[in-house]
A = this chain, B = another copy of it.
Amino acid sequence: MDRFVQAVPPPADPYAGDPFLRSWLDRILGPAGHAAAKDRLSALAADVVGTLRAAHADAEAHPPTLIRYEPWGARVDRIETSAGWQAQRAAAARHAVVALPYLPDSRATWGAAARVVQHALLHLYGPESATFSCPVAMADGAAALLSRPEVDPAVREAWLPRLVATDPATAVTSGQWMTESQGGSDLSRSSTVASLVDGRWRLTGEKWFCSAADSAMAVALARPDGAGPGSRVLAPFLIPRYGPDGATTAPGIRVHRLKDKLGTRALPTAEIGLDGAAALPLGDPAGPGGLTRAMTLVVVTRLHNAAAAAGGMRRGLQYALAFAAGRTVAGGPLSRSPLHRATLGTLAVDAAGAFALAAHAFALLGRVEVGADPYAAAELRIVAPLAKLVTGKLAVASASEYVESFGGAGYVEDTGVPRLLRDAQVLPIWEGTTNVLALDALRATVRDDAAVPLLARLDAAQDIARASHPPCPTSSPTPPPRCGPTWPT
């Protein structure tokens, strides 16, 4: 007997089909700025609904494997990834998802807003990238760190061009080998040691949660030999992951195992042992400011985390809308059910809010980078943790709602819906849990008085809102159009 088969159209082109994104770019970039970005955005969106959607599915279906030994017994610690993962890697390079703000003519075209354009690229690229968005984030963070003046120009010259290359043949990404088993987010307990041996730095220690462990390089934190306790003396190093042939695991690096994670399954995350692994210092390890330099990277990855949250929420919304349009319930399309509309409406508001928050943080980063705005750095100081914190929480709650909105089908892996939740759950954890970030924001507020620019912006926003929307009369059953809530004063 034949079964009914629910038709579910694939989600539409994420650029052409997203008026909110387009109006946002018009507003922030201006019509000319948006027009200058349009070809890039269209091309990426076309690839997403084209080959990248299949590459995403392939990468999710074929997670990485760790080959510890060759047939004849040599320990090799080779991570094998799928063809889909490789395709995502190439697309990230080709579409300049990392490189855009570093491209020479980007600043000429968009100035500080090059980061806004990059964020739009991330918004399109991330949700169907099989979380290649993660190595993208860390490559961007590493590029930002390598761009700092304290970094030895020879190191910068050797690695920065590859991190921001748009040719897939030369482009590389970066891992991040920070946390250790005993410490987690408490970096003060880090016990990896950096020693200078015959003029070369060598790292020895055990790293516990190393994502994108197949990347060509990693940024690692280590305690320089002889430095005291605490986290302030930790210094960032660049570890080349492979030997001179670009394929063999470098001496002194051992990949103990890959993590079997709830989500981000295409992404190889490893426990890595270092035993005298060669490393390049990023700034003077003995000098001050090591942790501050590392924070350059972390601010960037936290912003990417917010972008991933917003992108995932948009993707969930699109999928849920497509399903609701095709599904018939109680004699009509599910999309006409008042209660279901209310549910999706709330989710759409959350998705728009998450996007706006992430986009604003990228805009701030751009302004900080070009030095355009004296308040931007202070605002970013507090917006980075808050944007990461809020969007991470929203992403999980929304993903759970999207799963539920498909009924039983949302709970079955081959629809692709459960992945929304599994992947979202990493967002409030990676680069600082909600509580860690809350404490960070508290420190910023109390110690650095960093809340002032943000509060000023909120006040201004409230004034604008109040001016344009009269308060809704509380007694009227049908409020007049475009009224707003009564703002407390």
| A236 at interface by CB-CB < 8 Å | no
Chain B residue at smallest Cβ distance from A186:
B329
Q: Does B416 contact A71, Cβ atoms closer than 8 Å?
A: yes
Using a CB-CB cutoff of 8 Å, which residues 63-95 of chain A contact chain B?
Answer: 68-74, 83
List chain B residues, Cβ under 8 A from A400: 396-397, 400, 425, 428
| A188 at interface by CB-CB < 8 Å | yes
| A482 at interface by CB-CB < 8 Å | no
Does more than half of chain A's interface fall in helix, strand or loop, or is it mixed?
mixed
CA distance A256 to B73 in the complex (A): 10
CA distance A416 to B322 in the complex (A): 34
Q: Does A257 contact B69, Cβ atoms closer than 8 Å?
A: yes
Q: Does B71 contact A261, Cβ atoms closer than 8 Å?
A: no
| A116 at interface by CB-CB < 8 Å | no
| A206 at interface by CB-CB < 8 Å | yes
Segment of A12-20, A404-412, A444-452 in the binding face: A404-412
| A152 at interface by CB-CB < 8 Å | no
Segment of A353-361, A371-379, A433-441 in the binding face: A433-441
A429-B407 contact given A3-B73, A438-B339, CB 8 Å threshold: yes
Residue with the highest number of chain B CB atoms closer than 10 Å, among A6, A83, A415, A434: A6
| A426 at interface by CB-CB < 8 Å | yes
Segment of A97-105, A174-182, A278-286 in the binding face: A174-182
Q: Does B1 contact A204, Cβ atoms closer than 8 Å?
A: yes
| A8 at interface by CB-CB < 8 Å | yes
> Which of B71, B186, B414 is within 8 Å of A412, CB to CB?
B71
| A263 at interface by CB-CB < 8 Å | yes
> Which of B62, B72, B330 is within 8 Å of A409, CB to CB?
B72
Q: Does A422 contact B206, Cβ atoms closer than 8 Å?
A: no
Q: Does A412 contact B329, Cβ atoms closer than 8 Å?
A: no
List chain B residues, Cβ under 8 A from A260: 412-414
Q: Does A415 contact B1, Cβ atoms closer than 8 Å?
A: no
List chain B residues, Cβ under 8 A from A428: 400, 404
Q: Does B411 contact A181, Cβ atoms closer than 8 Å?
A: no
Q: Number of A interface residues, CB 8 Å? A: 78
Q: Does A262 contact B422, Cβ atoms closer than 8 Å?
A: yes
| A5 at interface by CB-CB < 8 Å | yes
Q: Does B185 contact A407, Cβ atoms closer than 8 Å?
A: yes
A4-B411 contact given A186-B329, A397-B397, A435-B339, CB 8 Å threshold: no
Min distance, Cβ A335 to any Cβ of chain B, angstroms? 13
| A259 at interface by CB-CB < 8 Å | yes
CA distance A6 to B339 in the complex (A): 46
> Which of B7, B429, B438 is within 8 Å of A408, CB to CB?
B429
CA distance A179 to B404 in the complex (A): 16
> Which of B3, B7, B256, B404 is within 8 Å of A434, CB to CB?
B404
| A271 at interface by CB-CB < 8 Å | yes
CA distance A328 to B412 in the complex (A): 38
List chain B residues, Cβ under 8 A from A396: 400
Chain B residue at smallest Cβ distance from A207:
B3
Q: List 27 A-B contacts (CB under 8 A).
A: A1-B205, A3-B181, A3-B206, A3-B273, A4-B191, A5-B72, A6-B73, A71-B409, A71-B414, A72-B409, A179-B408, A182-B328, A184-B407, A184-B408, A186-B330, A259-B411, A261-B412, A261-B413, A262-B403, A262-B421, A396-B400, A400-B400, A403-B429, A404-B429, A404-B433, A411-B425, A422-B422
Contacts A4-B206, A6-B72, A186-B330 aside, 12 further interface pairs with beta carbons under 8 A come to A3-B206, A4-B191, A69-B256, A69-B271, A71-B409, A72-B409, A73-B181, A186-B329, A208-B408, A404-B425, A407-B429, A411-B425
